[in-house]
Amino acid sequence: MAKRKIFDKGKNCGRKGFVYTIEVLLAIFLVAVTITSLFLQVPEKPQGDIAITKRLGIETLEYLDNKDVLRNYVNSNDAAGIERELDALLPNRLNSNATICERSCTFSGLPVDRNVIVADYYVSGYRTTYLGKKVRVFMWSR
Amino acid sequence: MRNNKRVECVGGKTDRQEEISREKTTDGSHSHRRKGFVHIDYIIAIGVIIVVFALSVQFATSFFTPAQEEAQTQTVTANAFSLLSMADFSSSPRVWNDTSLPERIGLYTKAYRFLILVNNTGSSYLNQSQSVINLSNELVNFSFSDLGYSGININSTVVLDDNNRTLSYQISGEEIRFAAIVNASAQRWYVVYFDDDSNFTSRSASVAVTNNLSERIYPTEQINIVQYQQMNELSVSNYTLVRNATSNRDFHIRLRDVNTSANQINYGADEPRRGTVVALQRFVMYQNATANVNQGRLIVQTW
């Protein structure tokens, strides 16, 4: 008597639910991976403190100029004097250094592992003396 | 004989399952034990969906919550920066009051400064035959019109010696005269401040002087200061109206003298005990009630 197989699928009839479950699990896995990759990284905080620090440096130099001390330091090439003034005026969270230069400013001793913010202030003269110099201030977080 | 068996798909079961279920008709306990087995895959799927949903909500919350807080902090910080710029701009419009409110708060004005050198050495004497002596009331005078300035508020003139002491002076038209004290063979520096847009009362006082020396006046320089008149206008205004007209956010402004810590401006609402409050400060030169130019610390808080 010939085999009578009503099916091929007769053998796989009982596996329907298994395939469906696999499909659902696969879909859920794909959705989970997508959502995880989208939301895992919290958006990066904007670096507003850099702009704040730069503005602080420029306003402090302008204040020293209005106070009539900055040009005297520049005339005497006294960068250390400017640094002392800055230490008293800038917030404690900041370290600073200053240099007086004409065209190219070089300064060593800056930290290499953090952001350093630079502010320039140009000084044309002091009383009857033409100077043509600039004060460059370097600021970074402690 | 199994090969001759007819295989039918009965409810999707295999041959073995069919035999078992046929056995069930004779032994009922088997059928009760296996009934829930066919639904276990759906239960697992639903459980996984619930877990994934919970994780998704958690990730989304941790993503959006700091972003929202950061956005609010940035908004408040921008408002604080805008207020701090009041030392860089005049108010707009320049003249305002509670019925004609400003669009922007400002306190800035220009002032001017120049130096005078009094050198008590032989070469400076008007009479070269005169010997060098201590001078206690040497005449120092200058005219704003001779310096090229017109429209000066002459009452805003302030004269300081090199010890930062304010000296009295006499006004005669556009001319200012004061007395300098200079020892023999010494020199002294005097600083003169003035502006062209204030309204101070006269402080002229007569001075008894003798003129023995010629003095040197150095070029005038411009400085940025916080103006007394605008400080006054702000201090007497209605805070609620000004707040609603400018930023619609609460704020507090203080201008504190660097040396005396006295508040020159203390204006605005009280800071809240909780919430996002941004405070910024900067150093400025400000003009007081007697036109003296002093060092100040401008502090703004906004929330």
Cα–Cα distances (Å) from B246 to A129, B55, B107, in that order, read 44, 44, 14
Residue B192's Cα: distance from chain center in Å?
29
Tens of pLDDT, residue by residue over B55-104, are: 777 777 777 777 778 888 888 988 999 999 999 998 888 878 777 788 88
Place of tokens 């905080």: A45
> Is residue A17 over pLDDT 90?
no
Return the minimum-mean-pLDDT range out of B35-39, B48-52, B126-130, B273-277: B35-39
Q: Identify any residues that bridge with B278 across adjacent strands, giving them in sequence order.
A: B302
Closest chain A residue to B284, measured at CA: A63
A137 token code pair:
């201030």
Interface of A with B (CB under 8 A): 1, 3-7, 9-11, 13-14, 16-18, 20-21, 24-25, 28, 31-32, 35-36, 38-40, 42-43, 45-46, 48, 52, 55-56, 59-60, 62-63, 65-68, 89, 127-128
> Is residue B30 over pLDDT 90?
no
Which residue in A5, A39, A52 is closest to B63 by CB distance? Answer: A39
How far B69 CA lies from chain A's nearest CA (Å)?
Answer: 11
- Cis amide bond preceding B93, omega within 30: yes
Rounded distance, CA A137 to CA A64, Å?
13
Say if CB B216 and CB B189 are below 8 A apart: no
Torsional class of B35: left (φ above 0), alpha (ψ -120 to 50), beta (otherwise): alpha
**pTM (2 decimals)?**
0.76
> Is residue B18 over pLDDT 90?
no
Average pLDDT for A97-114: 88
> Is residue B53 over pLDDT 90?
no
Residue-by-residue DSSP string for chain A: ----BS-SHHHHGGGHHHHHHHHHHHHHHHHHHHHHHHHSSPPPPP-HHHHHHHHHHHHHHHHHHHTT-HHHHHHTT-HHHHHHHHHHHS-TTEEEEEEEESS--------SSS--EEEEEEEEEETTEEEEEEEEEEEEE-
- Place A72 in a pLDDT band, splitting at 50, 70 and 90: very high
Phi and psi of B119, rounded to 5°?
A: -115, 110
Rounded distance, CA A91 to CA A82, Å?
15
The pLDDT of residue A21 is 79
How far A136 CA lies from chain B's nearest CA (Å)?
Answer: 19
Torsional class of A68: left (φ above 0), alpha (ψ -120 to 50), beta (otherwise): left
- Place A43 in a pLDDT band, splitting at 50, 70 and 90: low
Rounded distance, CA B214 to CA B211, Å?
8
Closest chain B residue to A15, measured at CA: B12
The pLDDT of residue A104 is 83
Whether B55 and chain A come into contact, CB under 8 Å, resolves to: yes
